[in-house]
């Protein structure tokens, strides 16, 4: 998606260790006009698919999912991160390993809000090692709902997540896929 790629080139900051900071428009300060274009593009890519719910994960996925939901006219459900040991039986849970923080945490969704009648589109801001997305897909599976696919804003194409997800048969639509990235050379899109 042209507008997003241009914005990454203009305002993304590359740091050593494959870090891409996009917090001026994507995950700390949020450019809602850009999110509207992204929402429209997700709708275009998943046109004709039956979708009853958008699933995302707190915190930075929530804004993109909420704006996208306007185009799909469905509710958003966001999975909560928790490190609580005892989780009540009325939630679906899976485990996610955080790349940034090096911790394992549980993600949970109340059973009320995902059922076998749902057709789910997962939306998130970033895809790198794929752990969050795999965790979300597991929640969908556990609920008996149909997983229609996943829409991602920025995929780090040089990390393993995208490959894992595509090979598992999940339809993955990333609006910008970065194949190479360096402080000197900038960003190369697929």
Query: Is 130 a known ligand-binding residue?
Result: yes
**What CA–CA distances, in Å, run from 107 to 36, 132, 166, 169, 181?**
27, 9, 22, 22, 30
Q: Which is nearer to a copy of itself, 15 or 190 (CB)?
A: 15
CB of 13 to a copy of itself, least distance (A): 11
Q: Are strands 76-82 and 104-110 parallel, antiparallel or unpaired?
A: antiparallel
**Residue 74 CB partners (closer than 8 Å, separation 6+):** 51, 52, 53, 54
Query: Is 128 a known ligand-binding residue?
Result: yes
CB of 29 to a copy of itself, least distance (A): 4
Query: Is 131 a known ligand-binding residue?
Result: yes
Q: Which is nearer to a copy of itself, 91 or 172 (CB)?
A: 91
Query: Is 20 a known ligand-binding residue?
Result: yes
**Residue 108 CB partners (closer than 8 Å, separation 6+):** 79, 80, 82, 87, 91, 92, 93
Instruction: Tell me which residue of 96, 50, 110 sits closest to 74, measured CA to CA.
Output: 50
Q: Which is nearer to a copy of itself, 24 or 146 (CB)?
A: 24
Distance CA 45, CA 181 (A): 26
Instruction: Tell me which residue of 131, 78, 134, 133 sits closest to 108, measured CA to CA.
Output: 78
- The site for a copy of itself (CB under 8 A) is made up of 23-25, 28-33, 35-36, 58-59, 62-63, 65-67, 69-70, 73-78, 80, 109-110, 112-113
Query: Is 27 a known ligand-binding residue?
Result: yes
Q: Which is nearer to a copy of itself, 110 or 182 (CB)?
A: 110
Q: Which is nearer to a copy of itself, 53 or 131 (CB)?
A: 53
Residue numbers in the known binding site are 20, 27, 128-132, 156
Residue numbers in the known binding site for 5-phospho-alpha-D-ribose 1-diphosphate are 128-132
Residue numbers in the known binding site for xanthine are 20, 27, 156
């Amino acid at each position: 998606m042209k507008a997003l790629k241009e914005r990454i080139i203009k305002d993304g900051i590359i740091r050593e260790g494959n870090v891409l900071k996009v917090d001026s428009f994507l995950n700390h300060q949020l450019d809602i006009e850009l999110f509207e274009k992204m929402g429209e593009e997700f709708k275009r890519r998943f046109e004709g698919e039956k979708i009853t719910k958008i699933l995302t994960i707190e915190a930075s996925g929530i804004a993109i999912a909420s704006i996208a939901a306007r185009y799909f006219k469905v509710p958003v459900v966001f999975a909560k991160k928790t490190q609580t040991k005892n989780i009540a039986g009325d939630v679906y849970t899976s485990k996610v390993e955080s790349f940034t923080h090096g911790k394992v945490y549980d993600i949970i969704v109340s059973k009320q809000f995902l059922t076998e009648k749902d057709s789910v589109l997962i939306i998130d801001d970033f895809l790198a090692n794929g752990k969050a997305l795999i965790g979300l897909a597991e929640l969908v599976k556990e609920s008996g709902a149909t997983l229609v696919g996943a829409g991602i804003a920025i995929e780090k194409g040089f990390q393993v997540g995208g490959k894992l997800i595509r090979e598992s048969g999940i339809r993955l639509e990333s609006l910008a896929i970065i194949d190479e990235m360096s402080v000197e050379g900038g960003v190369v899109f697929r």
